[in-house]
Chain A
């Protein structure tokens, strides 16, 4: 064991405070809402301090990359030795801890302000809670996100794949619980997915990936005998062997074990990170409360898929070392998803759905980067994206909150379109076409949202998103992956376009509804986290500027890039050469990003939309727009090929069950009853009953005989005792 600063001994404590908070809230503080949220926030602040202590201790001693810290205890005895569980810290973990600890804390604080009494509930039904102004299940919300935080932090510090998988599934459970948090919510449109259904959909869709992931995990364990990251990935000989030994599969033919395991594990990441073709759950997951969308479905859980592949990268690289391997598949899925999701994002109305597709798209960038071997760029983009995407989601939550408040305000004061029949007309506070001009009403939310949007659109030079995205594009160009490069570059153009479409629709122009005109700025617990995240969304990139970049390479730092490169070098097969700087791709991507912004301004900013005016894109794109709006009909397709056959099969089996199985069971039952009656008559009543009676009578007789000596008098007993002892003593000489 090598020397390391003491603070790393605290690593295993990082997931602990929030776990304790979960139990404390569930078991004790549930009835006290403010206390529960304070407990959760206190716990996450402790976790944050611990994560930053560990992360900075690592950043300050970069030479630790040579021998990453691994503290484990033997946990389960297996055939030869022990299965160890423990924590590991390397540069990737440190980077993740830096991001996760901070984002978690910001979102917890934001949630304490966000989880007010929800609009879909009838205040008459919960008069006291409504007066208090907090969600009826406020405490439960904090318990769930605390448990989620445990899952994420535990996943980051896990030193082996099994432990990672366990925390991965904890997060999956929390995701399900939190998406369906407002499970009683329904919509007037029966086709619109409800939170309950969305939770189920997310859980079941990711399950597809997770089952394949677990298969990969089991195969890996069979071959390696361990699941410890360091033990597997530093062993070049083992990886080489895994890459050369092949297995013959039906349909696919012979593939190397490394490629098979890689692809199985990658399916886990596809499910978790909502990549094509398992992307369908993420947009619907937006039914959950917005802090949840920010926390789970933007910043942390979905990026766990990327983190997994980052961790497993040596295996992927080894599989592609000799043969085609798994990397081209990763690159294809990533690049395709990046472009595909970006096109859908262009035609969405819901402010959160746009962000959801943008998340899918950005995660696609990361997978594409991993697929083309830009390991470092993927990590940097993962970290940077978490900051600005959390910011955008929290900003959109603030907007929704404001619009909802405005709506209630209008409704109460009666100068809106109250309808006479007593029930409120359905109003969608998330529809961007119901907004407009909010920058004046909500300045802090507005400006921080614009900061996040600039970063997402990769506005050149000053935003963090530019540096990380540029790094990926430069790699794609440099490595000659032209298809990937163009997919990502067009994706970048679309990203800039839909992001600023969103900005212009939401914040500029005139308010298109009374609700938007009366939206107030959010409370301070919500705006402060926005400001703090905006700082990182803009300046977070300046630790990852390549040295050879003109001008900026001199004034900014390449600390993070360098650290991750050093970390990657210790793993065999992993190529971490920095991309050579080239003006062509850099200029192309800059021009595309800027033209996306300008185009958005031309369409939505120059002449702001009036109330009720349809999206101008609809006229220009025609049927294509409808296809995009309907998300390429993937939900309908899956409904047709997966859900409907399953339901049909289920109903068929139900009929089969009733018609055939039940009848057989009934026959068997009737036969059994007949047999039982016969046995009772001929066997039970005569034979068994007779035996039982004899036993009973024998007991009675014996009792009657024995009770003669039971006089109840001590002296009689003593006399019997004397006789017994005398008999025993007589036996001694006979021995």
Chain B
């Protein structure tokens, strides 16, 4: 029961934050809400016994991506809240579409039969993740590293003053 209450609490706060992130007129506020969402998801990861991912979520999303977003907001200065409106003219269609998508996906997911397996998470989960990354999944791992390198070089090329 404690788990359920905790989940509902965290999930509700996270969703509210997410809504804040998409409705806040001030982009800087939106970014702060986003940080809250990332944090809530990290808590959910820990609730799901994925401690490593929880920590990684905080380090990568909050520590790196959110920071990057805040930098970008500040670099494009006169956009913070001074624009005519936060939404484009299709926003009601987008709202309807999003609600429709939610209902549809939720219905499909609830309908789908899943084969539940109850077992404990292995004690050496982090070791296994590490071995998996350099063992079975070594090729995707290397590809991901190349992708990061390309993104790095690409970002520098795009952003530098010409």
**Interface residues of A, Cβ cutoff 8 Å to B:** 713, 715-716, 719, 722-723, 726, 729-730, 732-733
Not counting A715-B88, A722-B97, a sample of 10 additional A-B residue pairs whose C-beta atoms are within 8 angstroms of each other reads A713-B88, A719-B90, A719-B93, A719-B97, A722-B101, A723-B97, A726-B97, A726-B100, A729-B108, A732-B108
Q: Bound complex: CA of A730 vs CA of B111, how far in Å? A: 13
Sample (12) of A-B pairs whose CB atoms are under 8 Å apart:
A713-B88, A719-B93, A722-B97, A722-B101, A723-B97, A726-B97, A726-B100, A729-B104, A729-B105, A729-B108, A730-B104, A733-B111
Q: How many A-B residue pairs have CB under 8 A?
A: 23
Residue of chain A at shortest CB distance from B105: A729
Query: Would you call B90 and A715 a contact (CB within 8 A)?
Result: yes
Q: Bound complex: CA of A264 vs CA of B94, how far in Å? A: 90
Query: Would you call A726 and B93 a contact (CB within 8 A)?
Result: no
**Hey, which chain A residues are within 8 Å of B88, CB to CB?**
713, 715
**Hey, which chain A residues are within 8 Å of B90, CB to CB?**
715-716, 719
Q: Bound complex: CA of A719 vs CA of B94, how far in Å? A: 7
B interface secondary structure, majority: helix
**Interface residues of B, Cβ cutoff 8 Å to A:** 88, 90, 93-94, 97, 100-101, 104-105, 108, 111
Q: How far is the CB of B45 from chain A (nearest CB, A)?
A: 27
Q: How far is the CB of A733 from chain B (nearest CB, A)?
A: 7
**Hey, which chain B residues are within 8 Å of A722, CB to CB?**
97, 101
Q: How far is the CB of A254 from chain B (nearest CB, A)?
A: 78
Residue of chain A at shortest CB distance from B98: A722
Residue of chain A at shortest CB distance from B107: A733
Q: How far is the CB of B127 from chain A (nearest CB, A)?
A: 39
Query: Would you call B104 and A726 a contact (CB within 8 A)?
Result: yes
**Hey, which chain A residues are within 8 Å of B105, CB to CB?**
729
Q: How far is the CB of A735 from chain B (nearest CB, A)?
A: 12
Q: Bound complex: CA of A732 vs CA of B111, how far in Å? A: 11
Residue of chain B at shortest CB distance from A723: B97
**Hey, which chain A residues are within 8 Å of B93, CB to CB?**
719
**Hey, which chain A residues are within 8 Å of B101, CB to CB?**
722, 726
Q: Bound complex: CA of A76 vs CA of B94, how far in Å? A: 68
Q: Bound complex: CA of A733 vs CA of B107, how far in Å? A: 10
Q: How far is the CB of B61 from chain A (nearest CB, A)?
A: 23
Q: How far is the CB of A62 from chain B (nearest CB, A)?
A: 65
Q: How far is the CB of B90 from chain A (nearest CB, A)?
A: 6
**Hey, which chain B residues are within 8 Å of A732, CB to CB?**
108
Q: Bound complex: CA of A660 vs CA of B78, how far in Å? A: 90
Q: Bound complex: CA of A713 vs CA of B105, how far in Å? A: 26
Q: Bound complex: CA of A726 vs CA of B90, how far in Å? A: 18
**Hey, which chain B residues are within 8 Å of A726, CB to CB?**
97, 100-101, 104
Q: How far is the CB of B118 from chain A (nearest CB, A)?
A: 28
**Hey, which chain A residues are within 8 Å of B104, CB to CB?**
726, 729-730
Q: Bound complex: CA of A729 vs CA of B101, how far in Å? A: 10
**Hey, which chain B residues are within 8 Å of A719, CB to CB?**
90, 93-94, 97
Q: How far is the CB of A709 from chain B (nearest CB, A)?
A: 12
**Hey, which chain A residues are within 8 Å of B108, CB to CB?**
729, 732-733
**Hey, which chain B residues are within 8 Å of A733, CB to CB?**
108, 111
Q: Bound complex: CA of A716 vs CA of B111, how far in Å? A: 31
Q: Bound complex: CA of A155 vs CA of B104, how far in Å? A: 82
Give the 4 A-B residue pairs with the shortest CB-CB distance, closest first: A722-B97, A729-B104, A726-B104, A719-B97
Q: How far is the CB of A732 from chain B (nearest CB, A)?
A: 7
Q: How far is the CB of B104 from chain A (nearest CB, A)?
A: 6
Q: Bound complex: CA of A722 vs CA of B100, how far in Å? A: 10
Q: Bound complex: CA of A732 vs CA of B93, how far in Å? A: 24
Q: How far is the CB of B95 from chain A (nearest CB, A)?
A: 11
Q: How far is the CB of B11 from chain A (nearest CB, A)?
A: 24
Residue of chain A at shortest CB distance from B111: A733
Q: Bound complex: CA of A730 vs CA of B108, how far in Å? A: 9
Q: Bound complex: CA of A596 vs CA of B97, how far in Å? A: 118
Q: Bound complex: CA of A713 vs CA of B90, how far in Å? A: 11
Q: How far is the CB of B2 from chain A (nearest CB, A)?
A: 36
Q: Bound complex: CA of A270 vs CA of B97, how far in Å? A: 93
Q: How far is the CB of A706 from chain B (nearest CB, A)?
A: 19
Q: How far is the CB of B101 from chain A (nearest CB, A)?
A: 6
**Hey, which chain B residues are within 8 Å of A716, CB to CB?**
90
Residue of chain B at shortest CB distance from A722: B97
**Hey, which chain B residues are within 8 Å of A723, CB to CB?**
97
Q: Bound complex: CA of A732 vs CA of B97, how far in Å? A: 18
Q: How far is the CB of B51 from chain A (nearest CB, A)?
A: 34
Q: Bound complex: CA of A729 vs CA of B93, how far in Å? A: 19
Residue of chain B at shortest CB distance from A729: B104
Residue of chain B at shortest CB distance from A732: B108
Q: Bound complex: CA of A719 vs CA of B98, how far in Å? A: 10
Q: Bound complex: CA of A328 vs CA of B86, how far in Å? A: 111
**Hey, which chain B residues are within 8 Å of A729, CB to CB?**
104-105, 108
